[in-house]
Amino acid sequence: MTIQNDKAAKIASKFVNSTNRNIFLTGRAGTGKTTFLRDISRRTHKNTIVAAPTGIAAINAEGVTLHSLFQLPFGTFIPSDRFNGEQAPNFQLNTPRTLHQQLKMYSAKRNLLKKLELLIIDEVSMLRADILDAIDSVLRSVRRRRDLPFGGVQVLFIGDLHQLPPVVKNAEWLVLQEYYPTMFFFAARVLRDEEPLYIELTKIYRQSDNVFISVLNNLRDNQMTQQDVDTLNRYCIPGFSPAPGEGYVYLTTHNYKADRINRDELQKLSGRAFEYHAEIEGDFDARIHPVDSVLVLKKNAQVMFIKNDPTGEGRFFNGKIGKVEILNENEIKVAFSDGAPSVWVEKYTWENKKYTLNKRTNEIEEKITGVFGHFPLKLAWAITVHKSQGLTFEKAIIDVSQAFAAGQVYVALSRLTSLKGLVLTSPFQLKDIPAEPALREFAGLKKDTDSLDGQFKALSESYLREEVMQTFNFASLCMEFDYHLRTYTKDAGRSEKQKSLEWARALYAELIKTKQVADKFLNQLNRILQPEQAHDYPYLHERVCAAKKYFDPVLNGFCVRIASHVDELKTGGKGVKKYITELKGLDLLIYGRLQKIYKAESLVEAFIRDIELTRTSMKRHPVRAGGLEAGSTKKKARKEKTLKKEKTDTKTISLQMYKSGLTIKEIAAKRSFAVSTIEGHLAFWIGEGEIDIKTFVPQTEVDEILAAFKKLDTTHLTPVKELLDHKYGYGKLKFVAAILPAS
């Protein structure tokens, strides 16, 4: 699926990149919410962090948990320092005051949150309103912008509120109902003054049967008719037992049921059981393992893929059911009942991440803290509804007789591609689905795409004005330097820092002079950007470019002075290491201001040209003259060890065999790999420049295939193959995809 196919997705992307408005992006199951998340986090020019309410959801979203990101204590949060109850509850209760008292956040995390511009929260149906208010409280405090929701951070909420709901215990609700009408995220107090823009993806990719789509939509919207019930109950077959190899998966609401079914079915199979152990490095808690760390399989075991085919060939997808055809100590081959070719399964690596602030680029980046390598398979005679979220099945036996929430029923049914593969274990009844009036009321905020287009111009103008004005407001920068200057409080002879007091005063005095120049420019900007008059944006661009030309050498000069001062310090002196850390922080603040100036120029250009600013279209970063992380210090920073486990060993072997003169087919035969696997290995080396692509694909064909990738704005192979009328095989497409520009 190409994300640009959906008009709502395009509009959501525009609002993310060109405004600062909070957004709720929703859509029925199979509409491409995860695809949008991947696309926007890759393309946006904003410093972005992806997070989710639970560990498993965070791993699936390739992000982090909200609790770990904001160092939230577990328990219940009330948005008041006064508890109105008569007696203390028997669970942990957090208030804004206790939250800040417990917040022991290192400077690195604080700097990270200060640089944050866009927070993406996935699976927001599970996010509680009180937790969102706690996040708001932390951001306002850390970013020192208590007057702004989330401290000025834009939040993109992604999820379907008709799926899995937030979990609240009865005792907690007795307390929280005094503050919130419902526990869904949209009831948070931080959103009361301005609700997020409600944008819905409407194009459904998982199902094509209009009858089934209608039933699912009515179920989701709590508008089921008797005709819908009768339609579902035509597929009710109590006691149904599929024949071996039919590929049905049993969906149930409880873990113990799924585990028992899988265990019993595996024991029924004859033959040897093989154990496959996960390869775990670094920090990867057992609670967030994407599959069991020990996978036990036998020949003919029913298994399910939990990842899409990474080769892009679509040999399998997340949720595809198969049967183990061949297995030994190190390899697994899976066959399919739909006639698709069997697949030798390769191990996949999941990453546990955290976000850090890169001290060289001053940008938020991902850091791998742990990896989990395993076959992307699990036993699949049965699975819980909760763990099926995001999966796609062709055949399923569904038991929701013990469903504890309406969303579970919808999630279960919406996993199927069509009604043909449905079997219900018991009749569906309307009374099984309790109403959620709060959801219906919130859904009333949904905007059609035309009304969103009408809002966009005013919001994008407001965002541009705010960003440009903030960029040249040096008050916060001077405040940080003033705070640093006030830490020189001890006798000058006792430490290297105290001996540097006069140096710090001189630097601060120069910064104040620079602020005075910036203040004069702010007055000029204010005249250009008066809210009530037509704006001369080309003139604004001219003035911002002139300001960049002036401030670039001035701010770089401050960085050079700080770096030179660090070089002069006696490294063995008392407190020098801590002092150098403080100076590096000041250096990053100055460089960050210079980055904002360069970005302001790009924002104005994009606005004039009426295009969406993205990471790739933004102008180059400013030169970091003399920056501490650019090599001016005496001690060079040691290269950070990465835990990311690349599959370079097996790729290197393929490269060596290719360079020895073997063909792709010969390498595949000698290594007992599929040809497509070896093509993937060599495509990697084409991307690295080790192999000339013209060895495999003539330049004329390269040009034609590249044009197709560009036209579809995709990196996926199948849409390109179809556009070119299947003229080229997946191998050639893979080789050309390897040289696509990074985005």
What pLDDT, in 10s, does the model give residues 261-302?
999 999 999 999 999 998 888 888 888 888 888 999 999 999
Q: Is 90 helix (H, G, I), strand (E, B) or coil?
A: coil
What is the distance between the alpha carbons of residues 88 and 92, in angstroms, rounded to a whole number?
Answer: 9
Report the interhelical angle of 675-687 vs 730-737 (nearest 10°): 20
Q: In what order do the strands lie in the sheet with 249-252?
A: 382-384, 249-252, 396-398, 422-424
Residue 107: its H or E element: helix 107-115
Q: How far is CA 152 from the centre of its chain?
A: 20
Q: Is 681 helix (H, G, I), strand (E, B) or coil?
A: helix
What is the distance between the alpha carbons of residues 678 and 696, in angstroms, rounded to a whole number?
Answer: 13
Other beta carbons within 10 angstroms of residue 444's beta carbon come to 7
Residue at 194: amino acid letter: E
pLDDT at residue 2, as a whole number:
40
DSSP 690: S
pLDDT lower than 70: segments of the chain: 1-5, 85-88, 204-207, 402-407, 430-436, 490-494, 532-533, 570-574, 625-649, 672-674, 742-743
What is the distance between the alpha carbons of residues 409 and 386, in angstroms, rounded to a whole number?
Answer: 10
Strand partners, 266: none
DSSP secondary structure string, 202-221? ---SS---HHHHHHHHHHHT
CA angle 438, 443, 445 (to 5 degrees): 115
Residue 658: its H or E element: helix 648-659
Give a three-class secondary structure readout of 112-170: HHHHCCEEEECCHHHCEHHHHHHHHHHHHHHCCCCCCHHHHCEEEEECCCCCCCCCCCH
Other beta carbons within 10 angstroms of residue 366's beta carbon come to 17
Burial 332-349 (b: 16+ CB within 10 A, else e): bbbebeeeeeebbbbbbb
What is the distance between the alpha carbons of residues 124 and 163, in angstroms, rounded to a whole number?
Answer: 10
pLDDT at residue 434, as a whole number:
58
User: What are 80-131's pLDDT values in tens digits?
Assistant: 888 776 666 777 888 899 898 888 888 888 889 999 999 999 999 999 999 9
Other beta carbons within 10 angstroms of residue 182's beta carbon come to 21
User: What are 440-470's pLDDT values in tens digits?
Assistant: 788 777 777 777 888 898 899 999 999 999 9
Q: Report CA Rg, the chain.
A: 29
Q: Where are the beta strands (DSSP E) in 559-605?
A: none
Rounded to two decimals, the pTM is 0.76
Strand partners, 279: 373
pLDDT at residue 701, as a whole number:
93
Residue 524: its H or E element: helix 501-528
Q: Which residues contact 149 (CB under 8 A, 6 or more apart)?
A: 22, 136, 190, 191, 193, 194
What is the distance between the alpha carbons of residues 677 and 483, in angstroms, rounded to a whole number?
Answer: 57
Other beta carbons within 10 angstroms of residue 461's beta carbon come to 17
Widest pairwise Cα distance in the chain: 88
Take residue 386 and report the two structure tokens written for it.
Answer: 């909760």
CB-based contact 121:127 (threshold 8 Å) = yes
Strand partners, 354: 367
Q: In what order do the strands lie in the sheet with 377-379?
A: 343-344, 332-335, 321-327, 302-305, 377-379
Q: Which residues contact 472 (CB under 8 A, 6 or more apart)?
A: 518, 521, 522, 525, 547, 597, 600
CB-based contact 130:378 (threshold 8 Å) = no
Nearest to 364 by CA among 46, 85, 625: 46
Long-range contacts (CB closer than 8 Å, 24 or more residues apart) made by 453-458: 453/11, 455/197, 456/11, 456/14, 456/15, 456/18, 456/19
Q: Is 654 helix (H, G, I), strand (E, B) or coil?
A: helix
Q: What is the dihedral of CA 25, 31, 37, 39, to 10 degrees?
A: -120
CA distances from 428 to 2, 409, 425 (A): 36, 10, 9
Q: Which residues contact 288 (CB under 8 A, 6 or more apart)?
A: 55, 56, 58, 59, 352
Report the interhelical angle of 664-671 vs 675-687 (nearest 10°): 120
Residue at 503: amino acid letter: W
CB-based contact 278:374 (threshold 8 Å) = yes
- Size (the chain), residues: 743
The burial of 603, by beta-carbon neighbours within 10 Å (0-12 exposed, 13-18 middle, 19 or more buried), is given as: buried
Residue with tokens 């065999």: 657
Other beta carbons within 10 angstroms of residue 644's beta carbon come to 15
Q: Which residues contact 475 (CB under 8 A, 6 or more apart)?
A: 515
What is the distance between the alpha carbons of residues 720 and 567, in angstroms, rounded to a whole number?
Answer: 55
Q: In what order do the strands lie in the sheet with 364-374?
A: 279-282, 364-374, 348-357
Take residue 593 and report the two structure tokens written for it.
Answer: 């201001």
Nearest to 646 by CA among 684, 601, 687: 684
The burial of 383, by beta-carbon neighbours within 10 Å (0-12 exposed, 13-18 middle, 19 or more buried), is given as: buried
Nearest to 558 by CA among 471, 481, 667: 481
Residue with tokens 């049905």: 248
Measure CA of the first residue to CA of the last residue in the chain; give whole Å.
17
What is the distance between the alpha carbons of residues 490 and 76, in angstroms, rounded to a whole number?
Answer: 43
